[in-house]
Amino acid sequence: MTELTPLITETPAEHPFAQFVRILGKGKRGARGLSREEAREAMGMLLDGKVEETQLGAFLMLLRHKEESPEELAGFTEALRQRLQAPPIQVDLDWPSYAGKKRHLPWYLLAAKCLAANGVRILLHGGGAHTAGRLYTEQSLELLSIPLCRDWHAVSEALDTHKLAFIPLQDWAPRLQRMIDLRNTLGLRSPIHSLARVLNPLNARCGLQSIFHPGYQAVHREASRLLGDTAIVVKGDGGEIEINPDTSSHLYGTANGLDWDEEWPALVAQRHVKPASLEPGQLLAVWRGDEQNSYGELAVVATMALALRGLGQSRDEAFTQAQRYWDQRH
């Protein structure tokens, strides 16, 4: 005689994270965004590994569909900062690099390198080569002699010695890296790609952020203002922190709790021709002065000016000093 499985007569307890999925996904009329406190708690559970894989995927895609709010970005960031075990390290510029380039070379790396040569302490961080067909910061570090650091101690030493350091996200926020890596599983980028721009893990004097999609720039500025950070958000070329000299740029700034806006006109009357292919070696050739590249050098100077603007200089002062730094780089 076959033994029958006993009936379950008790209602199973709901998973503690289920409430956050329900808040985001409860239909057109019932769904809403998370409050800052709810976002902090939800991200805390994600970072602590207290969430099922199915919940993680549902949560990320519901957020992606809704589009994250400033309050959510601020709450997520606070959860991460509460869990970071980074020593106090003085940083001038937080420089997130998560998009990769596909139309132009990563000229922003020469901007960071040139600023560092003039004493500006810069923390670069990125999430790996997650999308095919793009050139990522990580792939040019060795070429440009930018220190790759795998822990905060190495970052501190690199900043003291070279004023420039790159640390992969996986080494200081591995669970966030895991969420970014779901891009090819879920078929869409998750909100973690946006969140990474706001994190500013070492509380730099100014956080630079590049947000490509229209409408998101103001959201990111507001998140940084809620966090009490100084930041400039731009629509950088390809999603990286790089001013495109062929087009105008709108700067969304916040400092001391006050927002400001600035429009920078294009630097040339006629657009440059897009290169047929990306040759990373050209970066080093231009840096050394062996080659000239009109687009690249204008992008470098304008991106340095953006950084100096974030550190308190006026636009004219920033461009003058950036040009001087570039001219005197040897």
- Given a contact cutoff of 8 angstroms between Cβ atoms, the answer to whether 322 and 298 are in contact is no
Q: Is residue 27 part of a domain?
A: yes
For residue 148, what is the DSSP state?
B
Domain that holds residue 242: 93-327
The reply to whether 71 and 135 lie within a common domain is: no
Rounded Cα–Cα distance for residues 261 and 217 (Å): 11
Is there a domain that residue 209 lies in?
A: yes
Mean per-residue pLDDT over the chain, rounded? 93
Last residue of a domain, one of 83, 107, 133: 83
In the sheet that 249-255 helps form, which strands lie side by side, from edge to edge?
Answer: 164-168, 122-126, 93-96, 206-210, 231-234, 249-255, 258-264
Q: How far apart are CA 220 and CA 226, in angstroms?
A: 10
Within this chain, do residues 78 and 119 fall inside the same structural domain, yes or no? no
Inside any domain, residue 10:
no
Q: What is the pLDDT of residues 141-166, one digit of tens each?
A: 999 999 999 999 999 999 999 999 99
Residues 77 and 171 in one domain: no
The span from the CA of 4 to the CA of 22, in Å, is 35
Per the CB < 8 A criterion, the answer to whether 265 and 248 are in contact is yes
**pLDDT digit string, tens, across residues 96-146:** 999 999 899 999 999 999 999 999 999 999 998 777 778 999 999 999 999
Number of domains in the chain: 2
| CATH code: domain of residue 29 | 1.20.970.10
pLDDT at 258: 96
The model's pTM is 0.93
What does the pLDDT read at residue 80?
97
